[in-house]
Chains A and B, each alone.
Chain A
């Protein structure tokens, strides 16, 4: 029971990381892909939108990691060993993204240097979520085996499979869509710019559907346990919700109802991750490491749940305040 509560907290942190931190990566993608007569303005909107919040958003990932190693130490050890290579790649991406973004903002170098930082920022914003999707995918393939606490399948298993690669691409499209949708709300007083992001959101949402289908089909052989989960009784319900959210997002974007589009996008990402975890339950590293067999002793879990409860009480109002302060009025004060 307790391990379930901790697992739910982890899932919630993961969803929040996708919704917030994922969108920051998406912003970076649109920075790299900025094009047309307003490319400079597009970059500026992205920078202003993520500037004050990306560090706080990034902490959700750290929370996922600490909760994993506190609540499920054996699961953590197993995945860290098996996925050493893609996880290290994620770290390199995270370091480059954060550093390049900050250096670009605070450097007053000539244009060329700024552009180079921008390019690193953008490239790392592609690279990192791709590896994140890859890693999550690898955990579901069922090919990473752990026997008697020892990894038996080496360091290249799982994450190079077509299914995992598909998950990486899916994560890219998802975050790009999220970011573009959010950015339509950051550009309320610049209709042209808003339209740029509207089209980007529409296109990436349209791209998402075939990618999702391919990943689903690939899961049949690539992640059979997952596929089994996705064909259980609740799956159609969740799928219906996801599709409904997706259609709602498309319609709202088309009709320029941006607030509604944002809600739909959030709903869509949430149901996708929820479905993912339900299909995977109770596995952490399919099939050998589960929420039950890798959980920490009860004392630890109990304290952890207590701390999470108290922490949430302190934290959520502060987070709400941060977003209230910077997302209510739109654009950020420049340079101060």
Chain B
């Protein structure tokens, strides 16, 4: 447990915290915009109430997202100065563009949250659309920077010196497309199911509440459309990783041996010593089939790499399985939703269905966290894949355990407060008679 260890832990903890708010920052504006649009279409005050309720929640989340994001942009330099020294000129571009996306997001969120009475309804809605679009843009930009760490291009490395920089090529690296797509959809999946769970929970207490039923409808609509897309995009990601980072893929699949007709291993306990994975569920030819859509193709295993270039196989494999398990569950849940909705001809409200939704609430976020662990830990020991090892990038600073402990405590505290505040926001509306609700938001 040295400074290097704590630097990694601090980075991981800060990112794992930020990503929750970032994903909600992408997803929530979309939900609000849909609700307000329905209000403009139907003039049903309930949708306006809903939009305002969600907006209040989003304001809290957004503030925490903004401050934790600021922490990150400093931490890139505080913890990994040697990395930023080399990479800054190459991938500073997407970060700068992200800066502009933040601006328009923050500006129009201010307009949206505080401008109810100062804009015509249509302009107000449009400012919400701009918030949603900027949120997606900022996610895409920052993910291209991360993708570059996985598939570095746009420069030449000669004698440890970086030359012939091409920031545009770096931005459009081979991992950008699949990562940006997968992350953007992930934000909608996770937000959709989390919001659906909240309203399903409140519906379970008050079965005939129209407010929560409408909210539930919008949320499972978004979640139900994006979850199946996420499976397709995940397949795309897996195959891209197979091409770009075979060591990461091998670790994801706990695949120690290069072979043709490779089996798919689910779960189990990978063991680097014996190079086997015990107690796993084996599906013969499964991996070859998934990766190349052919039964007998050859898949590179970890044995093709020196052991000092392996990532932590257990963490990567288990995280990957967790993500896929969550993804499959949510996909199944979407299918059930579509079926029930179609059968009932309205937003389904069966008790067992609502209970299942509550259960699914955290799964999207679990998948996001797990997916990022796959991406980041799977890239190890490299910070820039194949170019710079992580231990070279770390700051010479000592006592990083202190700042790690400080930020962990701070974030734990913030996390608890945010949950309490959001809980209050929603419990307040557990029994809203539409009229009173409207008044209370105008008060």
Contacts and interface: CB of A to CB of B under 8 A. Distances in A.
B159 to A, nearest CB: 15
A66 B60 contact: no
Interface stretch (B112-120, B187-195, B202-210, B243-251): B112-120
A62 B108 contact: no
Contacts of B110: 52-53, 55-56, 322, 326
B315 interface: no
B232 interface: no
A95 B414 contact: yes
B404 to A, nearest CB: 10
B71 interface: yes
B351 interface: no
Interface in B88-122: 88-90, 92-93, 95-100, 102-104, 106-111, 113-119
B78 A87 contact: yes
A94 B78 contact: no
Contact of B62 (A55, A296, A335): A55
Contacts of A238: none
Interface string A298-336: 011001100110010011001101100110010011111
B116 A336 contact: yes
Contacts of A92: 406-407, 410
Central interface residue in B78, B86, B99, B396, by most chain A CB within 10 Å: B99
B403 A62 contact: no
A63 B76 CA distance: 14
A64 to B, nearest CB: 10
B217 interface: no
B390 interface: no
A303 B59 contact: no
B167 interface: yes
Contacts of B317: none
Interface in B325-360: none
A334 B443 contact: yes
Contacts of B74: 65, 80, 87, 90-91
Interface stretch (B39-47, B177-185, B374-382, B417-425): B417-425
Interface residues of B, number: 74
Contact of A81 (B89, B396, B442): B396
Interface string B51-94: 01000100110111011111101111110011011111110110
Given A66-B95, A70-B89, A94 B71 contact: yes
Contacts of A51: 114
Interface in A118-146: none
Contacts of B78: 80-81, 84, 87-88
A52 B88 contact: no
B140 to A, nearest CB: 15
B5 to A, nearest CB: 17
Nearest to A53: B110
Given A335-B443, A336-B116, A319 B165 contact: no
Given A81-B395, A99-B417, A102-B64, A69 B167 contact: no
A273 to B, nearest CB: 20
B120 to A, nearest CB: 12
A95 B18 CA distance: 12
Contacts of B56: 106
A282 B369 CA distance: 44
Interface string A102-119: 110111100000000000
A178 to B, nearest CB: 20
B443 A59 contact: no
Contacts of B397: 81, 84, 155
SS class, residues of chain A in contact with chain B: helix
A56 B97 CA distance: 15
Contact of B111 (A76, A95, A108, A321): A321
Contact of B89 (A52, A58, A296, A326): A296
A307 B76 contact: no
A151 interface: yes
A162 B379 CA distance: 45
B99 A101 contact: no
B70 A58 contact: yes
B96 A297 contact: no
A66 B63 CA distance: 20
B223 to A, nearest CB: 25
Nearest to B52: A336
Contacts of A97: 67
Nearest to B403: A88
B305 to A, nearest CB: 30
B100 A76 contact: no
A91 B407 CA distance: 9
A314 B396 contact: no
Contact of A70 (B71, B96, B414): B96
A130 to B, nearest CB: 17
A307 B77 contact: no
A195 B97 CA distance: 43
Contact of A56 (B71, B73, B103, B395): B103
A102 B84 CA distance: 32
B425 A106 contact: yes
A241 B439 CA distance: 52
A299 B84 contact: no
B168 interface: yes
B88 A102 contact: no
A236 interface: no
A210 interface: no
A43 interface: no
A53 B111 CA distance: 9
A155 B81 CA distance: 14
B441 interface: yes
B30 to A, nearest CB: 19
A311 B141 CA distance: 14
A179 interface: no
A314 B100 contact: yes
B166 interface: yes
Closest 3 CB pairs of A and B: A70-B92, A73-B88, A80-B77
Interface of B: 52, 56, 59-60, 62-64, 66-71, 73-78, 81-82, 84-90, 92-93, 95-100, 102-104, 106-111, 113-119, 163, 165-168, 395-398, 403, 406-407, 410, 414, 417, 421, 424-425, 428, 441-443
Given A95-B71, A333-B116, 18 more contacts: A52-B110, A52-B111, A63-B96, A63-B99, A66-B95, A66-B98, A73-B89, A77-B84, A98-B67, A101-B63, A296-B92, A300-B89, A300-B90, A300-B93, A303-B168, A322-B111, A336-B52, A336-B442
16 contacts: A55-B106, A62-B102, A63-B96, A63-B103, A69-B92, A70-B88, A73-B85, A73-B87, A98-B64, A98-B66, A101-B63, A311-B100, A314-B100, A318-B104, A333-B114, A335-B441
